[in-house]
Structure 1
């Protein structure tokens, strides 16, 4: 799960910017609505707390309905934690659904998503980041339209690094620990690094990134490889950072908002978090370190530049929708370049070309430039139908190691045994 700030443009500005929105990435007129005078209703479900704000989505929906008077759209917003269940139990009552990347395989295997491979033009596909597309792909086919494009970044306190005499932002996890040790020894801050390592999906997100950056894989060719030596090495790094007092011990109970609060209050030099933190950490009304916040790609290891978990989400058409063509039309409207350009401050666009747009760059020059680089190193959490069960067990296993109850090797050996049972 990820959180981001729902910053909203005014309705008037949104209408102006979206006036050309419609089907297709470049934005059409949206005038190819249903034939005849009969009005059809689309039911769409989104999540409350992440990405584009409810107001922004509802304003865009109103604009879509104005351009397509034969289509009525009713939006529902639910917490992320209940979104998957709502989709699974919708019984054909949904036409558009926001889906998280780890759900795609499970939903496809369950037969509850419409395939849309042939609906996305090649020109649009070529302009979308591969990492964003992969969030809604399974078995070489497309089951949705990328919409939210996000991943985690390394945030750092520029002033603290300068005080410590650290000239270069850490590029590897080893360098991160070395920098943290210098900062701690100089009493600049007690615990230089803060993470969201509570027993929750946030922990699975970070573990997936770190293991990949060490050269490991949680699943290989559809089979669990959790106790791969590289994965054990990655978990040993996490544990060691706590044992050495370099990572905040409360990280084991922290989620992303706790990380933001700790970093923004000046109690950490480094933090891993989603893009939303950049604006808030630089807002003097929200942060005591505003103006001191730097952002960089996630560290790697020797030979591996970086790896960062895909936090992207897509808009899909649940099987059983009575109006798949109109649903796709609405999806294309929301995913259009015009909409994403208008809300580039809320979430990074899925479209490569928008990263060269001066208006988009102006919203967050540092974040835009770093994102272009970080998106080259996106990785997915295992895209297997049993990911939900695996994630639950992974959180337990990794938490035990972080608490010192078992060794990293034992934790991942036990997890591997349980994962094998999931596949059988």
Structure 2
């Protein structure tokens, strides 16, 4: 009966949302939304309000959580949300939630979690399958590729909340001076970067995240997918030692050996790559969406007004644009919750057009709702929001409950090849063997 009532409520709510989406996005971002703001219904007990707890780490430390709670409660007066502020450290946050939920705690009711958690949380029954409660039409609201990352064995364990993605940043002034177009392929980027360095127009051609850490796994997923490869095949077997993987890793190593990227890129994380670009020492940068605002901040960037941003390139013959690794945060439901109907109402609203428009328009977070991504008003906010809807997205192989070990096997071996410690073939062979060991492990 609960599922039937929720589906009926969802149908009414989404019908209202479709009407509101046709109005100006500015209507959804006002401090006091009009009474016509779409609001999924919930069944409140006779005693009055339902109180649910939402565990969430700070979002950019600018009050986003409290703002969204305020707007949600205005739209849903029978539900009160109690915010539990989680640690900023993703690992500490995850450990805390695992301890609480595995111990049978009914709170938090809803929690914000990393996009790489679904495999582990599903395997340990730490998250409720959302597709058991929401109709298929609910998941259609999200940008392509996002739901796939939260899907484990046919069940969807999280709702995409806001996302990060990789982009290519470039020096508009240098390309214009050298009469070079914005590159659309990796090969073209390498060639143009080499030209700029050879002509002594810039110190480095291209900087990115090549250190032995999670960021390299993200970079690797982009090159590997562009080359037509996968970490695991359709049967779930390690698939890193393939011609596609050879092509991807050989190219990454070639960026360093050709002098396009500095040798130090093998120890670069996001800050080092960002600082090198901001200092005017690099023509191209691969980094996350935050890098746009960072590069345009006077006092910390010497390239203000000289930067452009586009979707990442791909390899020649593999389409018109590359894949960007998905980062960001999802919303999960505690399987022990006592307030399932209210929890679902909360998630439905947080991923709706009004809430997602607030995230994008007021706080420049990348929305997961596809219609908001493609809203002209949202796209006009900044160059990253303008192109995010054009980006091909790829999730990390986090559907596996042993993802931490999977990622370690990827980035340690890819890094070894980048640093010239082992050959490309050896790195991929070792990665494949370690992946096989990781997925066959009996512990997380």
| TM-score for both structures, normalised by structure 1 | 0.87
> Is 1:60 the equivalent of 2:68?
yes
Change in CA separation of 1:209 and 1:367 when aligned onto 2, cut-off 3 Å? same
Which residue number corresponds to residue 109 of structure 1? 123
Equivalent in 61, 85, 88 of residue 95 of structure 2: 85
Kept in 1: contact 2:56–2:111 (CA 8 A): yes
> Is 1:324 the equivalent of 2:373?
no
Instruction: Quote the offset at 1:49 in angstroms.
Output: 5.5
Instruction: Quote the offset at 1:118 in angstroms.
Output: 4.4
CA deviation map 1:267-324 (0-9, x unaligned): 1111111112112212334422121111111111122131221224310102222222
Q: How many residues align?
A: 401
TM alignment of 1:370-385, pairs within 5 A = 370-374=387-391, 377-382=392-397, 383-385=399-401
CA deviation map 1:103-128 (0-9, x unaligned): 21221121111011143344443332
Which residue number corresponds to residue 57 of structure 2? 47
Equivalent in 179, 184, 201 of residue 188 of structure 1: 201
**Which SS does the other structure have where 2:175 is aligned?**
helix
Equivalent in 182, 189, 193 of residue 176 of structure 1: 189
CA deviation map 1:9-52 (0-9, x unaligned): xxx9653358655xxxxx31x664622236554332223355xx
Which residue number corresponds to residue 150 of structure 2? 136
Counterpart-to-counterpart distance in 1, 2:34 and 2:405: 41
Counterpart-to-counterpart distance in 2, 1:96 and 1:213: 35
Counterpart-to-counterpart distance in 1, 2:56 and 2:81: 16
Which residue number corresponds to residue 414 of structure 2? 398
**Which SS does the other structure have where 1:78 is aligned?**
coil
Equivalent in 352, 370, 387 of residue 370 of structure 2: 352
**Which SS does the other structure have where 2:32 is aligned?**
helix
**Which SS does the other structure have where 1:412 is aligned?**
helix
Kept in 2: contact 1:64–1:333 (CA 8 A): yes
Instruction: Quote the offset at 1:393 in angstroms.
Output: 2.1
Unaligned runs of 5+ in 1: 1-11, 22-26
Counterpart-to-counterpart distance in 2, 1:277 and 1:20: 37
Kept in 1: contact 2:149–2:396 (CA 8 A): no
Counterpart-to-counterpart distance in 1, 2:34 and 2:437: 50
Counterpart-to-counterpart distance in 2, 1:49 and 1:259: 23
RMSD: 2.3
Kept in 2: contact 1:20–1:338 (CA 8 A): no
Instruction: Quote the offset at 1:163 in angstroms.
Output: 2.3
**Which SS does the other structure have where 1:272 is aligned?**
strand
**Which SS does the other structure have where 1:132 is aligned?**
coil
TM alignment of 1:128-277, pairs within 5 A = 128-166=142-180, 168-221=181-234, 222-277=236-291
Which residue number corresponds to residue 300 of structure 1? 314
CA deviation map 1:245-271 (0-9, x unaligned): 211333222222332222122111111
Unaligned runs of 5+ in 2: 1-27
Counterpart-to-counterpart distance in 2, 1:422 and 1:122: 33
Which residue number corresponds to residue 74 of structure 1? 83
Change in CA separation of 1:46 and 1:199 when aligned onto 2, cut-off 3 Å? farther
Counterpart-to-counterpart distance in 2, 1:17 and 1:258: 42
Instruction: Quote the offset at 1:69 in angstroms.
Output: 5.3
Counterpart-to-counterpart distance in 2, 1:352 and 1:223: 32
Instruction: Quote the offset at 1:183 in angstroms.
Output: 0.7
